[in-house]
């Protein structure tokens, strides 16, 4: 395992993603555990990794995993971030007694997801890969949901409009898959809203609403084209309230310009039922929690970026 210096004690491997391995480290001065993603410097730090670290550092919210710092080793870039010890939402749902969650619990997690995503969008950042595996659940009581993995994120302030077909097929919005050609841009905010709806449905039903993970790319694309063309429609899960069914129907509107927005959702009675104040973005007296740990200074962060990014000219 990579050596991060005397302050860091390696614990175990947490997993492997598309852009690097993730390990658990103990930070000895603070006695806190952190997740550390290692990216191979020999392969180069591409625009995806650049977007991930810059956009992640800019986001400070209770429903988003916190960025801590960058560390350079001779061969790796180490991205140090908050460790969320309860696993991902996929595991949380599939290991629950009925392999799905009660409506009240699903709403509680959805409230946190909407709160975090609304904050992201207020900062000009869209996620573009919201899925069960990219939402982590803390091991605390009550549990806290946190968005992670910003590799496909887009910032409106320093990046181009979204054109690429990125994301996970079971969670991706139809306009992203069915836009006329690769250079066509799309509304990433509306696409993220669709993905949030997929997570809500999956929590309530224990299954995905449209495409199953077992579907191959061709079959998944065919299903989404039928939705896009209005030849099929959404079927809500059974046993949930009328208000929840109505919300899901407004999320799963194929034409993004007609889809419900995060702002509209936060005014709905169903959403505001038992809404914790810390996740109420409309509350004037919303409590502000202090950051759980100090973040790397902007000067040090920028200095490391200059070392790892390709030099123009």
Question: Are 135 and 89 contacting, i.e. CB atoms less than 8 angstroms apart?
Answer: yes
Question: Are 236 and 248 contacting, i.e. CB atoms less than 8 angstroms apart?
Answer: yes
Picking from 196, 36, 183, 38, the residue whose alpha carbon sits closest to that of residue 127 is 196
**Order of all β-strands in the sheet with 20-27:** 8-17, 20-27, 32-40, 76-82, 67-72
From the candidates 129, 182, 187, 280, give the one annotated as an active-site residue.
129
Question: Are 22 and 13 contacting, i.e. CB atoms less than 8 angstroms apart?
Answer: yes
Collapsed DSSP state (helix, strand, coil) of residue 290: coil
Place of tokens 């991706």: 172
Collapsed DSSP state (helix, strand, coil) of residue 256: helix
Give the separation between CA 248 and CA 196, rounded to whole angstroms.
10
The answer to whether 76 is annotated as binding is: no
Give the separation between CA 193 and CA 121, rounded to whole angstroms.
11
Picking from 277, 242, 241, the residue whose alpha carbon sits closest to that of residue 103 is 241
Signed CA dihedral, 18, 24, 28, 30: sign only: positive
Q: Residue 83, exposed/middle/buried by CB under 10 A (0-12, 13-18, 19+)?
A: buried
40 is catalytic: no
Q: Which residues are annotated as a binding site for ATP?
A: 37
- Annotated binding site, which residues? 37
List, by residue number, the catalytic residues.
129
């Amino acid at each position: 395992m990579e050596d991060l210096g005397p302050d860091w004690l390696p614990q175990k491997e947490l997993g492997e993603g598309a852009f690097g391995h993730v390990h658990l480290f103990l930070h000895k001065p603070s006695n806190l555990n952190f997740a550390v993603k290692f990216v191979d410097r020999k392969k180069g730090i591409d625009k995806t990794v650049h977007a991930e670290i810059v956009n992640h550092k800019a986001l400070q919210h209770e429903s988003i995993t916190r960025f801590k710092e960058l560390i350079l080793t001779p061969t790796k870039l180490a991205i140090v971030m908050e460790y969320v010890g309860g696993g991902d939402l996929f595991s949380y749902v599939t290991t629950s007694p009925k392999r799905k969650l009660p409506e009240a619990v699903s709403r509680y997690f959805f409230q946190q997801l909407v709160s975090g995503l609304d904050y992201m969008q207020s900062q000009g950042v869209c996620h573009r890969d919201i899925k069960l595996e990219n939402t982590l659940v803390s091991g605390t009581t009550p549990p806290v949901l946190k968005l992670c993995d910003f590799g496909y994120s887009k910032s409106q302030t320093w990046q181009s409009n979204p054109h690429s077909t990125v994301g996970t097929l079971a969670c991706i919005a139809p306009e992203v898959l069915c836009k006329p050609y690769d250079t066509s841009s799309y509304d990433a905010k509306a696409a993220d809203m669709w993905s949030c709806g997929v997570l809500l449905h999956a929590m309530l039903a224990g299954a995905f609403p449209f495409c199953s993970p077992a579907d191959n790319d061709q079959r998944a694309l065919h299903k989404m084209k039928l939705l896009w063309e209005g030849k099929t429609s959404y079927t809500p899960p059974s046993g949930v309230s009328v208000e929840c069914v109505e919300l899901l129907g407004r999320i799963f509107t194929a034409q993004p310009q007609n889809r419900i927005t995060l702002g509209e959702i936060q005014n709905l009675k169903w959403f505001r039922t038992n809404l914790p104040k810390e996740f109420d973005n409309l509350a004037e007296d919303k409590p502000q929690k202090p950051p759980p740990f100090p973040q790397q200074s902007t000067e040090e962060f920028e200095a490391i970026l200059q070392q790892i990014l390709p030099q123009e000219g």
